[in-house]
């Protein structure tokens, strides 16, 4: 096991001071680069900074928008730190970790983390790897075990874990559906959400068609167009800026044993998320915050079953009991620790988790569309079933 005992040098030293996004849609009508620049400028402005104050940029390796193009377009000027994080949505809080490391060590002063795409109107993310060219690299060869057999898309890869999870723990389609219903309920009162004013019932979920059985349409998040950016700086600087800082109390990445990109099917037990459990161990230790101290959690909800597994791997409930935890009303509106108060990626938009980071910041600031009382600590997680990341945001 990884020794975590000397990891506290970056805890509570940095904060998110700016958030900015485009609208979330199904057809933005403009380039991905424009979305990225719009989100970046909005986040810088929200932070009370000017483009020239930014000297670091981080995004996902999956993003098509080079940091230098955004820097040129936005008038950011010189960059002393630029980095990208791999593994799709697993990169989400990993971009924050990069920014934290940069500003805490003085490598950069103010860092923008961003993600922007047209993943509905452009290259649809849910289509998977059906056209991936077979250049003989290790990265492509991993799909040799799936694509020729017809296992081609994220939903299909996730469904394999889901079937086993349901078999081992007796979870049902209704148990998955309750996650979707709770997310869509919060989205229904979030004006920025694609599914604003469009709640669903458990019957709607059960009546939705199978995509990759046992996953139904309403177990799968949206494909969205949009951009989201955030600004990270040191806590000292953050206290001189206009917004209430969202302090980064703990942030970590994790790749588990026997880790594959999205098909870690060869572990003894595939009905949980060891990479997320590794991230959880680190952020709880680093932040000295636990589940009992959380006001809410933003759990990556590309697919409903991985929300159940995250509840177990973060320690909200024992393994195999997330179905009962959810059935007992512990994730929705009015719960002690509600999940995905913006409506999640099922309800607001699928911006690979960056919009979830923004919601975590809004809850700390007191500006969420579904604002909770007396918010102290918020957990934010990243892509599931892939090498991943998470963080704990806290009040100053």
Active site residues: 300, 350
Q: Which is closer to another protein, CB of 27 or CB of 213?
A: 213
CB of 144 to another protein, least distance (A): 3
Q: Which of 102, 151, 241, 317 binds another protein (CB under 8 A)?
A: 151
Kindly give the interhelix angle for 304-313 and 173-187, rounded to the nearest 10 degrees: 100
Nearer to another protein, 119 or 185 (CB): 119
Contact at 8 Å (CB) between 23 and 192? yes
- Which of 150, 334, 373, 374 binds another protein (CB under 8 A)? It is 150
For another protein, the binding residue among 1, 106, 135, 334 (CB under 8 A) is: 135
Contact set for another protein, span 253-292 (CB under 8 A): 263, 265-266, 270
CB of 301 to another protein, least distance (A): 20
- The nearer residue to another protein, 166 or 357, going by C-beta atoms, is 166
Residue with tokens 């990265």: 139
d(CA 130, CA 152): 6
> Do strands 14-21 and 388-394 pair parallel, antiparallel, or not at all (unpaired)?
unpaired
Does residue 74 bind another protein (CB under 8 A)? no
Q: Closest approach of Cβ 175 to another protein, in Å?
A: 17
Among 52, 75, 77, 134, binds another protein (CB under 8 A): 134
Q: Which of 7, 84, 86, 163 contacts another protein by CB under 8 A? A: 163
- 205 or 237: CB nearest another protein: 205
User: Residue 16: in which H helix or E strand, if any?
Assistant: strand 14-21
- Give φ, ψ of 56 to 5 degrees: -145, 145
Nearer to another protein, 31 or 121 (CB): 121
Ramachandran angles phi, psi of 139, nearest 5°: -65, -40
What DSSP character marks residue 220?
Answer: B
Near another protein by CB under 8 A: residue from 148, 170, 242, 290: 148
Q: Is 368 in the site for another protein (CB under 8 A)?
A: no
Q: CB of residue 139 vs another protein: minimum separation in angstroms? A: 8
Please state, in angstroms and rounded to a whole number, the distance separating the CA atoms of residues 289 and 141: 41
- List the end-to-end C-alpha distance of the chain, in Å, as a whole number: 32
Contact 344, 183 (CB under 8 A): yes
Binding mask 206-225 for another protein (x = CB under 8 A): ---xxxxx------------
Of 166, 177, 169, residue with least CA distance to 201: 177
* Tokens coding 105: 């060590």
Cα distances (angstroms) measured from residue 381 to each of 69, 94, 276, 318, 351: 28, 10, 8, 19, 13
The residue (of 128 and 199) whose beta carbon lies closer to another protein is 128
Pick the binder of another protein from 153, 224, 287, 381 (CB under 8 A). Answer: 153
Is 106 near another protein (CB under 8 A)? no
What would you measure as the largest C-alpha separation in the chain, in angstroms?
Answer: 57
Say whether residue 1 binds another protein (CB under 8 A).
no
- Residue 211, φ and ψ in degrees, nearest 5: -100, -60
Instruction: Please give the residue ranges that form the binding site for another protein (CB under 8 A).
Output: 126-138, 140-153, 156, 159-161, 163-164, 167, 209-213, 263, 265-266, 270
């Amino acid at each position: 096991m990884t020794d975590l005992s000397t990891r506290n040098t970056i805890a509570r030293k940095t904060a998110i001071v700016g958030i900015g996004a485009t609208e979330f849609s199904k057809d933005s009508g403009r380039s991905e680069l424009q979305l990225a620049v719009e989100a970046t400028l909005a986040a810088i402005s929200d932070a009370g900074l000017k483009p020239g104050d930014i000297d670091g940029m981080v995004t996902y390796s999956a993003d098509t928008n080079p940091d230098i193009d955004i820097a040129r377009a936005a008038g950011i000027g010189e960059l002393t730190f630029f980095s990208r994080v791999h593994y799709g949505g697993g990169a989400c809080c990993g971009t924050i970790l990069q920014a934290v490391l940069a500003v805490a060590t003085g490598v950069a002063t103010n860092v923008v983390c961003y993600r922007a795409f047209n993943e509905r109107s452009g290259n649809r993310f849910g289509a998977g790897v059906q056209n991936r060219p077979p250049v003989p690299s290790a990265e492509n060869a991993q799909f040799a075990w799936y694509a020729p057999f017809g296992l081609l898309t994220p939903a299909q890869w996730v469904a394999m874990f889901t079937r086993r999870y349901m078999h081992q723990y007796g979870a049902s389609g209704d148990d998955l559906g309750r996650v979707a219903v709770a997310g869509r309920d919060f989205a229904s009162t979030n004006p920025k959400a694609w599914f604003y004013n469009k709640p669903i019932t458990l019957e709607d979920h059960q009546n939705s068609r199978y995509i990759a059985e046992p996953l139904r349409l309403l177990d799968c998040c949206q494909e969205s167009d949009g951009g989201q950016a955030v600004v990270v700086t040191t806590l000292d600087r953050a206290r001189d800026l206009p917004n209430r800082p969202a302090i980064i109390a703990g942030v970590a990445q994790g790749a588990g044993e026997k880790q594959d990109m999205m098909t870690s099917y060869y572990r003894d037990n595939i009905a949980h998320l060891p990479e997320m459990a590794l991230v959880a161990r680190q952020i709880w230790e680093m932040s000295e915050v636990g589940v009992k101290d959380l006001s809410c959690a933003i759990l990556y909800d590309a697919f409903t079953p991985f929300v159940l597994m995250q509840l177990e791997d973060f320690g909200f409930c024992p393994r195999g009991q997330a179905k009962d935890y959810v059935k007992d009303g512990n994730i929705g509106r009015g719960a002690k620790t509600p999940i995905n108060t913006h409506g999640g990626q099922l309800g607001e938009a699928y911006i690979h988790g960056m919009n979830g980071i923004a919601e975590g910041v809004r809850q700390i600031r007191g500006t969420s569309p579904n604002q909770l009382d007396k918010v102290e600590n918020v957990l934010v997680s990243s892509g599931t079933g892939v090498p991943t990341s998470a963080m704990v945001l806290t009040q100053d």
